């Protein structure tokens, strides 16, 4: 048996270890190591000090020395908590979580009566997802100390085994076992907490035993554990088993006491429309539209004089459901009238129009458009009204927004008139001191500027003219200046700056959003995805790196959240966190970032060989939040379908990038000094990868060749469109370049047959550059995206020429000394590669000239003249300077990148 470790609780030892902890916490690992060495000089066998020394070594980058210390400690089988915790941190930081399980397994054998060690052992199994071992550890812990949490840890472990089981029979057996364990616990009257009851319901839900769930909810034990929620807990299960009469009566009772609870109205409507198909003789049951309407009206009448949104919206919901299969006007009257009535009552609330939005779209288009001015004038306002109080401004804004959502889309001139009118409203409010925003809150007047920006955008798209966009940017910058917390203005500014192709200006706003953690994923489409096509390569690399880092570390963070869920007994969160972790793990945008980052680095980043990335999931998940920018256009009703279409294109582009990166990595692996026979399998894999890439690109050209309309509230057109519709023949350029490298690595003379087409195609591709060389400001984004795709190829071919040069380097060395030793094929391929190198350098020189002569745009705006007329305090808009500096920075970066590429290519000759 191993010698028992020293007692760490000893005050002298603890005092000696304290400086080591302090230095580690402060990040001074060198000092921590020195302190650990001092302690070990006096106490060479002190396990805690050695564990802390291992941690300091690991953080200093001395992983091998750290692991040697840890391995020695493992042999001694420590069981004191201080040592084990320090070892756990080291193993977690070195991604060796399975070793944490091993050290605690050994520790509980040394000290089998230690509750804390068993608890840590259980959590170590949680971190590696070993649900079977979790169950054993939890049951051992429960036998040691029969506490409820330990028992339910074991039950939850069984549930997780069932959730991950592939065999339905095994799944059923495990769930039945979990159910039986809990029922025995109930029989023995041991259940004590609400979460224990919820876990039992979860087990029954997974088995779809709805009647058993209802029996449990209706028993006295549930009421004791979860007081005051028995009635509403029955609602989803009455729906499952079709007890519509009970559901109807229950929801009516709940609504009398909670007249504004929308989550009670929806199941009430479900029950009414189900009972309409099989009427009941019980008069207390609402089984017809008339009874339902009467019930809603009775709630409105008995609302004690308070205007509640729930009952008013309930009438609109009834109208919407009746409109699916019949004519609701006979019972409820005009849908427009109901919407107008709702607006008239609740227009003073910012949520009024968002509440109405789903119901406005249900109205017949002609009726909606014919009565659009009813929404504008229902409170005595019109488009030219000048409200003098914040409350009246909110009402006016609500009327304007409802009008915008129902009126037909006007011409460019009409949109400009509306935008200028709304801008005047904002400036007048600013002049009269009605802009009352603070550093943390924004006010109703901001909506004048935001809605005006939308109309400026509509006009710009109609005219294909950037001038209205400039006006919108200036106005939004003014709104943000007075309302720095208004994220709606920030999001809209980012989108509009990107529409003009100015990623640097957009980045100045993006930094103010302080995007962190999951927002890197949900808002990646808005900014990070548009940096590379706008040629803002350094910024793109930083943001892509941030997102990739988040993706790599989310699993560790999710695991810790699961351990907390167990500690606090919130078992529902265990499943929720695991499922959320799965969504992030298979996130399409995170996969795109990892690949985009490596390909972009070939052009603009440090010279680092690309590496194989984690394989793409079969079905990537879409974690984008496309509702971040609120839309006020009456034509943006099918956003779900647009999201699905755009995601399909993004995934297709992701798979193209994945295939291209895989082929480049295989080229690097094949360009070593191994014999052709040794790398034959990789060469075959490379040839198959190139063929698959070419076929996929052909398919994408057939499917995604149509241009898309711009939408300020949605992602810009997918990058695959510009790639596959480009006049530059990327299929031939990429596939022939990759085949050339492949055949060169295989020692085949076919390398020459692919090198010549690359040269010819590259020279011909220059003819298309001039068409994009002098864009207008409106065309700037498309032109930059065109050149971003072209520069990406330049980055790839430059890197691959370096790979070829390195592969042929021994031959070069021999050629100088023994010219006769070179075969004619080798001499010829070296000459062809040299010519290709010259062609790439010539292409780079042409690109440098294009970017040197990139047009200077006019960014003038009429906003400052308007401010002067109203004698508003001096304000200088930053838009013009941001746009000029942003474009200059991008052009400078691109020219510097091209200069470095040219210098590198010359070094290869």
Cα separation of 141 and 118, whole Å? 6
pTM: 0.91
DSSP sequence for 624-648:
--TTSSPP--TT---HHHHHHHHHH
- Phi then psi dihedrals of residue 621, to 5 deg: -100, 150
Contacts (Cβ under 8 Å, ≥6 apart) of 433: none
Cα separation of 821 and 65, whole Å? 48
Q: What b-and-e string marks burial along 29-54, b requiring 16 or more CB atoms within 10 Å of the CB?
A: bebbbebbeebbeeeeebbbbbbbbb
Bridge partner residues of 587 (DSSP) = 621
Cα separation of 694 and 737, whole Å? 12
Helix (H, G, I), strand (E, B) or coil at 292: helix
Residue 868 has a pLDDT of 82
Work out the angle at residue 562's Cα, subtended by the Cα atoms of residues 560 and 565, and round it to the nearest 5 degrees: 115
Asked if 149 and 574 count as a contact pair (C-beta separation under 8 A), the reply is no
Q: Which of 96, 189, 203 is nearest to 157 (CA)?
A: 203
Work out the angle at residue 543's Cα, subtended by the Cα atoms of residues 497 and 522, and round it to the nearest 5 degrees: 75
Residue showing tokens 């901001």: 446
CA distances from 362 to 263, 273, 397, 406, 704 (A): 21, 19, 22, 11, 31
Tell me the CA end-to-end span of the chain in Å, nearest whole number: 68
Cα separation of 630 and 632, whole Å? 7
Cα separation of 554 and 507, whole Å? 25
Cα separation of 175 and 204, whole Å? 8
Q: Which of 446, 497, 385 is nearest to 630 (CA)?
A: 446
Q: Which of 727, 649, 729 is nearest to 694 (CA)?
A: 729
Helix (H, G, I), strand (E, B) or coil at 621: strand
Cα separation of 442 and 491, whole Å? 15
C-alpha of 858 from chain center: 36
Q: Which of 728, 708, 726 is nearest to 718 (CA)?
A: 708
Tokens in use for 281? 């003789």
Sign of the dihedral defined by the CA atoms of residues 811, 817, 820, 821, in that order = negative
Which alpha helices (DSSP H) does 188-243 contain, by range? 194-206, 210-217, 220-225, 230-233, 235-241
Residue 284 has a pLDDT of 85
Contacts (Cβ under 8 Å, ≥6 apart) of 779: none
CA distances from 791 to 43, 728, 787, 816 (A): 62, 12, 6, 34
Residue 821 has a pLDDT of 58
Q: How many CB atoms lie within 10 A of CB 746?
A: 18
Cα separation of 222 and 130, whole Å? 32
Cα separation of 64 and 612, whole Å? 25
Q: Which of 455, 507, 513 is nearest to 488 (CA)?
A: 513
Asked if 523 and 506 count as a contact pair (C-beta separation under 8 A), the reply is no
Contacts (Cβ under 8 Å, ≥6 apart) of 525: 589, 624, 626, 715
Residue showing tokens 């596959």: 724
Residue 1 has a pLDDT of 26
Residue 820 has a pLDDT of 43
In the 8-state DSSP scheme, what is residue 436? -
Q: What is the mean pLDDT of each run of 10 residues along the chain (909 residues)?
A: 41 81 90 91 89 93 92 92 92 91 94 93 94 95 94 96 91 96 93 93 96 94 87 93 94 91 94 86 85 92 81 94 89 92 94 93 88 93 90 95 91 94 94 89 94 96 96 96 95 97 97 92 96 96 93 83 90 89 92 94 84 88 93 75 92 96 94 86 93 95 90 93 95 95 85 88 94 95 97 95 84 47 75 93 96 94 85 83 96 96 91
Contacts (Cβ under 8 Å, ≥6 apart) of 616: 591, 654, 655, 658
Q: Which of 403, 262, 391 is nearest to 340 (CA)?
A: 403
Contacts (Cβ under 8 Å, ≥6 apart) of 494: 506, 509, 510, 513, 526, 527
Helix (H, G, I), strand (E, B) or coil at 587: strand
Contacts (Cβ under 8 Å, ≥6 apart) of 549: none
Cα separation of 604 and 618, whole Å? 31
- Phi then psi dihedrals of residue 747, to 5 deg: 70, 25
CA distances from 340 to 301, 357, 377 (A): 19, 12, 10
Cα separation of 207 and 199, whole Å? 13
Q: How many CB atoms lie within 10 A of CB 459?
A: 26
Residue 635 has a pLDDT of 66
Number of residues in the chain? 909
Helix (H, G, I), strand (E, B) or coil at 748: coil
Asked if 748 and 680 count as a contact pair (C-beta separation under 8 A), the reply is no
């Amino acid at each position: 048996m191993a010698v028992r470790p020293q007692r760490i609780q000893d005050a002298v030892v603890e005092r000696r270890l304290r400086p080591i902890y302090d230095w580690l916490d402060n990040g001074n690992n060198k000092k921590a190591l020195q302190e650990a060495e001092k302690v070990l000089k006096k106490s060479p066998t002190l396990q805690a000090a050695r564990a802390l020394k291992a941690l300091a070594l690991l953080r200093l980058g001395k992983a091998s020395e750290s692991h040697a210390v840890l391995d020695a400690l493992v042999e001694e089988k420590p069981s004191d908590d201080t040592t084990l915790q320090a070892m756990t941190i080291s193993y977690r930081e070195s991604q060796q979580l399975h070793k944490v399980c091993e050290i605690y397994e050994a520790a509980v054998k040394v000290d089998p009566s230690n509750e804390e060690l068993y608890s840590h052992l259980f959590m170590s199994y949680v971190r590696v997802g070993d649900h079977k071992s979790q169950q054993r550890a939890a049951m051992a812990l429960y036998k040691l100390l029969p506490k409820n949490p330990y028992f339910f840890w074991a039950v939850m472990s069984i549930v997780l085994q069932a959730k991950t089981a592939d065999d339905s029979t095994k799944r059923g057996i495990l769930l039945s076992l979990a159910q039986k364990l809990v029922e025995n616990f109930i029989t023995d009257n041991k259940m004590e907490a609400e979460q224990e009851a919820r876990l039992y319901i979860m087990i029954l839900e997974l088995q779809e035993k709805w009647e058993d769930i209802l029996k449990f909810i209706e028993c006295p034990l549930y009421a004791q554990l979860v007081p005051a929620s028995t009635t509403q807990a029955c609602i989803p299960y009455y729906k499952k088993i079709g007890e519509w009469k009970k559901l109807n009566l229950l929801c009516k009772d709940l609504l009398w006491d909670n007249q504004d609870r929308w989550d009670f109205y929806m199941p009430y409507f479900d029950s009414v429309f189900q009972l309409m198909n099989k009427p009941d003789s019980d008069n207390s049951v609402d089984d017809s539209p008339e009874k339902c309407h009467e019930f809603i009206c009775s709630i409105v009448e008995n609302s004690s004089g308070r205007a509640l949104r729930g009952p008013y919206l309930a009438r609109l919901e009834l109208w919407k459901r009746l409109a699916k299969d019949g004519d609701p006007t006979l019972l409820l009257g005009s849908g427009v009238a109901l919407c107008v009535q709702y607006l008239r009552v609740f227009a003073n609330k910012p949520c009024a129009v968002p509440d109405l939005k789903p119901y406005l779209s249900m109205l017949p288009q002609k009726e909606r458009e014919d009565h659009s001015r009813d929404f504008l004038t229902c409170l005595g306002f019109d488009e030219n009204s000048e409200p003098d109080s914040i409350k009246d401004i909110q009402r006016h804004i609500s009327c304007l927004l409802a009008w915008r959502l129902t009126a037909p889309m006007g011409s460019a001139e009409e949109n400009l008139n509306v935008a200028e009118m709304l801008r005047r409203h904002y400036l007048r409010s600013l002049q009269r001191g009605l802009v009352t925003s603070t550093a943390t809150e924004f006010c109703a007047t901001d909506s004048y500027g935001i809605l005006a920006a939308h109309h400026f955008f509509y006009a710009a798209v109609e005219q294909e003219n950037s001038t209205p966009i400039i006006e919108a940017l200036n106005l939004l910058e003014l709104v943000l200046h007075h309302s720095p917390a208004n994220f709606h203005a920030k999001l809209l500014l980012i989108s509009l700056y990107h529409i003009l192709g100015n990623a640097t200006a957009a980045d100045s706003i993006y930094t103010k959003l302080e995007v962190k953690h999951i927002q890197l994923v949900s808002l990646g489409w808005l900014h990070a995805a548009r940096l590379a096509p706008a040629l803002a390569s350094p910024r793109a690399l930083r943001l892509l790196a941030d997102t990739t880092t988040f993706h790599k570390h989310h699993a560790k963070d999710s695991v810790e959240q699961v351990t907390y869920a167990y500690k606090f007994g919130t078992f529902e969160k265990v499943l929720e966190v695991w499922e959320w972790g799965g969504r992030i793990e298979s996130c399409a945008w995170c996969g795109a970032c990892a690949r985009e980052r490596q390909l972009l680095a070939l052009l603009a980043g440090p010279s680092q060989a690309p590496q194989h990335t984690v394989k793409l999931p079969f079905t990537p998940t879409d974690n984008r939040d496309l509702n971040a920018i609120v839309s006020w256009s009456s034509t943006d009703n099918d956003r779900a379908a647009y999201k699905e279409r755009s995601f399909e294109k993004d995934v297709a582009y992701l798979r193209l990038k994945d295939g291209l990166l895989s082929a480049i990595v295989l080229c690097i692996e094949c360009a070593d000094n191994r014999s052709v026979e040794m790398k034959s399998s990789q060469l075959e894999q490379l040839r198959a990868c190139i063929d698959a890439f070419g076929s996929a690109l052909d398919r994408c050209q057939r499917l995604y060749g149509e241009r898309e309309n711009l939408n300020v509230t949605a992602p810009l057109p997918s990058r695959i469109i510009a790639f596959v519709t480009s006049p530059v023949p990327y299929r031939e350029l990429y596939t022939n370049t990759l085949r050339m490298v492949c055949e060169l690595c295989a020692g085949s003379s076919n390398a020459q047959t692919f090198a010549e087409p690359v040269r010819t195609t590259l020279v011909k591709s220059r003819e298309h550059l001039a068409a994009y060389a002098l864009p207008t400001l409106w065309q700037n984004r498309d032109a930059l995206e065109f050149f971003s795709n072209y520069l990406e190829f330049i980055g790839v071919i430059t890197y691959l020429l370096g790979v070829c040069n390195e592969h042929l380097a021994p031959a070069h060395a021999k050629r100088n000394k023994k010219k006769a030793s070179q075969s004619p094929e080798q001499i010829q391929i070296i000459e062809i590669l040299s010519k290709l190198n010259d062609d790439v350098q010539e292409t780079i020189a042409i690109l440098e000239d294009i970017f040197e002569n990139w047009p200077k745009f006019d960014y003038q705006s009429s906003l400052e003249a308007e401010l002067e007329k109203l004698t508003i305090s001096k304000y200088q808009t930053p838009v013009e300077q941001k746009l000029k500096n942003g474009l200059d920075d991008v052009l400078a970066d691109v020219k510097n990148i091209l200069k470095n590429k040219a210098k590198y290519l010359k070094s290869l000759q």
